Amino acid sequence: MTIELQPPVDDPIVVDDLERLSFRVDRRAYTDDDVAAQEMAKIFDRCWLYLGHESEVPEPGSYVSRDVGGRPVVMSRGSDGQVRVFANSCTHRGALICSQPAGQAKSFRCPYHDWTFSNQGDLVGVPIPDGYGPGFRKADFGLAQHRSDSYRGFVFVTFDPEQPRTLTEYLAGATEYLDLIDDQSEVGMEVIQGAQLHGAQANWKLMMENSVDIYHFRALHKRYVSYMQSLGSVPPRRRGGFGRSLGLGHGANELPPAAARPLAHWTPMFPEEVRPSIEATAARFVERFGAEHAERITGTNRALLIFPNLLIIDAIAITIRKIDPIGADRMAITSVALAPKDEDPEIRELRKSHYLTFLGPAGFATPDDIEIVESCQRGYGNRTVRYSDLSRGMNKEIPETTDELPAREFWRQWDRLMHGDDGHFEAAHQAELEGAEQL
């Protein structure tokens, strides 16, 4: 008879040993229901969470409704032009006040008792009002408004009324990468209409790791590598580029030069007839920013992780992934494409094609990624191997993109918050955190 011994309750989940250059994560972090419940309280109820993009609510009256951090919310641009985030819950008896994913509305009506709210959150209509006493005031029953803010069009929300950091403070070094994205247009960026909603039977943190993991590209995405080569393009090299810590759990991988960018970097993957347009765009960027910075904006691929739930893959196309946990072994994924508002129609069609071909839920890469994270989740069910290893690159002053620095920074912040830490850096990690700053 075999008796399975459970680890002590106070046993660390993240084992970060700088002396031995070892970084391990106990696999119960991916499988334990109690850990999943603690994450909702200590991370998703406290952090700034990515919700959407301002371009999704372009005009007064436009709105989107979606879940974030396990809570249904509505992002609405009021008739006054201001973007607000409301709890998608009637203040009377709690029903959803908005059941459509997106639309245009001057007001939101609860289907239960017809309580009606303006698109600025005020309660404006109550049937049979004489049923309430003289103390009843509509002003006391407006929609609950969550604290929200945006940076370069990216909208975040926090459910913590005592969140001490402003959004810009929270984003820390990630603002540099959001700038690189938003600077791709002089008139602004926009989400291309049509979101892909899917999921995976795996823990949400596996997708956060996977999306900043370049080490797996040639091994897991062999079909796409062959496809790129058949078109005369060069897939990402096994070596090169660099990984960066951006503070507070955020991280990025950057790969120069890009294999293909419909924005301003032509390769044989694209039709010859669009080459003049792409090269003309590249010349405009050089004029605006200078050759060096223009090359960084238009000629590099990058994967950005903003803790805890946002991934932006700025490569063949710009893909935004919002990840939401649904228990220990399931996640929901919202995926959209971002593009310059002033993009030439032929380039826009090319961008959409490449987004769907590689990063769409039925493309070359995403099904591979979903299958592999679900495979990991099933493998954890064996329980014989206790730890996953994320030590790659700890022996380097400047980690490469095939190393695991962004994932380690994600886990360090996860561990700090799960232990009630306020998220400040520990001095012991400064050498690894600052290595890429020399670039």
Q: Which of 1, 23, 5, 37 is nearest to 383 (CA)?
A: 5
Indicate whether 6 pLDDT > 60.
no
Q: Which of 403, 432, 99 is nearest to 246 (CA)?
A: 432
pLDDT of residue 431: 46
Indicate whether 427 pLDDT > 70.
no
Are the CB atoms for 400 and 240 separated by under 8 Å?
A: yes
CA angle 255, 49, 97 (to 5 degrees): 135
Q: Parse the chain into domains and list their residue ranges.
A: 48-158, 172-438
Indicate whether 237 pLDDT > 80.
no
Tokens of 123: 């309660």
Q: Which of 176, 200, 414, 177 is nearest to 309 (CA)?
A: 414
Indicate whether 340 pLDDT > 90.
yes
Q: How far apart are CA 147 and CA 6, in angstroms?
A: 41
Tokens of 345: 């129609």
β-bridge partners, 104: 62
Indicate whether 329 pLDDT > 70.
yes
Centroid of chain to Cα 321? 5
Within the chain, how many helices (H) and strands (E) appear? 13, 21
Q: How far apart are CA 405 and CA 213, in angstroms?
A: 9
pTM: 0.92
Q: Can you give 1-47 as a three-state secondary structure string?
A: CCCCCCCCCCCCCEEEECCCCEEEEECHHHHCHHHHHHHHHHHHCCC
Are the CB atoms for 198 and 333 separated by under 8 Å?
A: yes
> What is the CATH topology of the domain spanning 172-438?
Naphthalene 1,2-dioxygenase Alpha Subunit; Chain A, domain 1 (3.90.380)
More confident of the two residues 148 and 228: 148
pLDDT in tens, 278-293: 889 889 999 999 999 9
pLDDT of residue 234: 62
Centroid of chain to Cα 174? 12
The share of the chain scoring above pLDDT 70, in percent, equals 90
* 3-class secondary-structure state, position 122: coil
Indicate whether 16 pLDDT > 80.
yes
pLDDT of residue 426: 45
- Residue 10: phi, psi to the nearest 5? -90, 10
Average pLDDT over residues 113-128: 98
pLDDT of residue 270: 81
Mean pLDDT score of the chain? 90
Q: What share of the chain is helix, strand, coil (3-state, %, to 5)?
A: 35, 25, 40
For 311, other C-beta atoms within 10 Å of its C-beta total 21
Q: How far apart are CA 31 and CA 23, in angstroms?
A: 19
Q: How far apart are CA 196 and CA 336, in angstroms?
A: 6
Are the CB atoms for 406 and 305 separated by under 8 Å?
A: yes
Superfamily per CATH, domain 48-158: Rieske [2Fe-2S] iron-sulphur domain (2.102.10.10)
pLDDT in tens, 346-364: 999 988 988 888 887 788 8
CA angle 12, 13, 14 (to 5 degrees): 95
Tokens of 150: 């945006």
Q: How far apart are CA 346 and CA 274, in angstroms?
A: 8
pLDDT of residue 316: 79
Confidence of residue 265 (pLDDT cuts 50, 70, 90): confident
For residue 356, give the DSSP letter: I
106-115, 146-155, 355-364: the lowest-pLDDT one: 355-364
pLDDT of residue 70: 96
pLDDT in tens, 170-194: 999 999 999 999 999 999 999 999 8
Q: Could you give the count of Cα atoms lying within 13 Å of 50 in the half-sphere of its Cβ?
A: 27
